[in-house]
Amino acid sequence: MYDKKNILFQHGTMQILAEGLLDGTISLKSLLEHGNTGIGTGEGIDGELIILNNVAYRIDTNGKAIKLNDNFMVPFANVNFANYTFLKKVKDEPLNHLLSIIEKEIKGSNKFFSIKINGCFEEIKTRSAGKSSKPYPSLKEVAKKQVEFYGSDITGTVVSYHTPKVFQGVGVAGFHSHFLSDDLNFGGHILSAYLNYGVVEIQVMDTFEQHLPNDNLAYQNANLSNLKHLDEIIKKSE
Amino acid sequence: MYDKKNILFQHGTMQILAEGLLDGTISLKSLLEHGNTGIGTGEGIDGELIILNNVAYRIDTNGKAIKLNDNFMVPFANVNFANYTFLKKVKDEPLNHLLSIIEKEIKGSNKFFSIKINGCFEEIKTRSAGKSSKPYPSLKEVAKKQVEFYGSDITGTVVSYHTPKVFQGVGVAGFHSHFLSDDLNFGGHILSAYLNYGVVEIQVMDTFEQHLPNDNLAYQNANLSNLKHLDEIIKKSE
């Protein structure tokens, strides 16, 4: 059997969010049985989640992090048991460029892996969202509840997951990165960032463990056969 | 943690086969640690595999089943630990129609599940393939080594897996079914079948466990970014 530490666990799919199926279908407590590090969102796209050292935070629409309790419900998340190894120290580098260099260096295009960076960010732009309630509105309406944050000279941690392209729609093809500042006053889904300096760690996953919300009626009944518009929606929806 | 019995384990992806990456990247011995029931193919598309009761068979280009040993290498397979429950008895029904009815009855479009059918088949058409060697030829050449078999009044077992559409390319979207006759003289990838009668069993999977051949150099170096032609190739390649 494979080492549990090198499994990327995913609950839900990006397609589920993209199609507006926003019920929380796993509790934070159950999710944490599959990892102590991760990213995700809450029911109704209730903020952006980040999990570090087994503690989960939700970045709300003020950009601040709020510690979550065990019964918080989650429609989509990626978690892993942290087993990172040091990769390199970096200075003065845009995050997107750094990630694409790493992908090449480790021949990682076709692998699931996670990058964790602790460092100081000269500039960072993030996004979060306010919770929508049932009946869930169109994605256009959900997108109106998105807010963007801009920070400078902030120390904190990036948790990023890389997904091979054939899994687009299952997850987010390429990198999907969330941020939490050390003082818990800033975070969210990273849109762009520029690192002053940072320590980069990596964990390559042999196994991608996909858990589906089979018992959720909306999921059972949904017509999820249209894959063509997924790319576009995924960029906007989480 | 989830019940290990309701995990569908997959090694490799259909994209890997479709792109002509045909190295065997897991041994049968390792594969059987993840399930005692399954389907797959051998290195170089070496026949069609079926695993029943922890015994793996390869259907060769004569249509006969050959028992495999532990060191047989596999580029792609689905396995699960059998935990099927009785669904129904059926009479005089085309297999494709039966499977699509079951998908609707259990609201299974968006779920991974396995169907096992033991019965008598009035007609059954299957396919297998002869092994290609390195350097692997084009898929067009591989397809030339495919052979089709036609049988009538045969008793045996169907093992079928259903994959949700968003996983197309990762696996085979919809149903993917292999057959083995009770006398081991007939089998392969099912193209069509008509059941006289059969006992249908089902096992729904909460978790899809995808294992990738990260250590394989051809996999690491492959450009797997073109997803557009996958649908067509998958229908031909396995």
Q: How far apart (Å, rounded) are the C-alpha atoms in residues A204 and B29?
A: 24
CB contact A2 to B (< 8 Å): yes
- The count of domains in chain A is 1
Per-chain mean pLDDT for chain B: 94
Q: Above pLDDT 70, what percent of chain A?
A: 97
Strands B207-211 and B7-11, by their bridges, are parallel
In the predicted model, what is the mean pLDDT of residues A115-131?
A: 96
Question: Taking 80 as the threshold, does the pLDDT of residue B55 lie above it?
Answer: yes
User: In this predicted complex, what is the ipTM?
Assistant: 0.95
Which residues in chain B are contacts of A34 at CB distance < 8 A? 1
Give the pLDDT confidence score for residue B28 in this predicted structure: 98
In the predicted model, what is the mean pLDDT of residues A5-31?
A: 95
Per-chain mean pLDDT for chain A: 94
CB contact under 8 A, B170 and A168: no
Which domain, by its residues, includes A159? Answer: 4-237
Q: Which of A2, A110, A208 sits opposite B219 (nearest CB)?
A: A110
Cα distances (angstroms) measured from residue B92 to each of B89, B120, B126, B156, B178: 11, 10, 19, 15, 19
Q: How far apart (Å, rounded) are the C-alpha atoms in residues A127 and A148?
A: 4
List helix spans (H) across chain A. Answer: 14-18, 28-31, 95-105, 139-144, 217-221, 230-237
Q: What are phi and psi of B74, to 5 degrees?
A: -130, 125
Question: Taking 70 as the threshold, does the pLDDT of residue B1 lie above it?
Answer: no
State how far residue A219 is from chain B, nearest Cα, in angstroms.
7
* B108 token code pair: 């299974």
Give the pLDDT confidence score for residue B2 in this predicted structure: 56
What letters, b where the CB count within 10 A reaches 16 and e where it falls short, cover B187-221? bbbbbebbbbebebbbbbbbbbbbbbbbebebbee
Provide the pLDDT confidence category of residue A5 given band limits of 50, 70 and 90: confident
State how far residue A230 is from chain B, nearest Cα, in angstroms.
10
Which residues in chain A are contacts of B211 at CB distance < 8 A? 2, 206-207
Provide the pLDDT confidence category of residue B238 given band limits of 50, 70 and 90: low
Which CATH number do you get for residue A130?
A: 3.30.1330.80
Q: At which residue do the structure tokens 């259903």 appear?
A: B162
CB contact under 8 A, B210 and A208: yes
CB contact under 8 A, B165 and A227: yes
Cα distances (angstroms) measured from residue A30 to each of A26, A77, A108, A168: 6, 12, 29, 25
Question: Taking 90 as the threshold, does the pLDDT of residue A165 lie above it?
Answer: yes
Which residues in chain B are contacts of A208 at CB distance < 8 A? 209-210, 212
Question: Taking 90 as the threshold, does the pLDDT of residue A233 lie above it?
Answer: no
CB contact under 8 A, A209 and B210: yes
Alpha carbon A43 to chain centroid, angstroms? 14
State how far residue A170 is from chain B, nearest Cα, in angstroms.
6
Cα distances (angstroms) measured from residue A162 to each of A113, A223, B19: 5, 27, 21
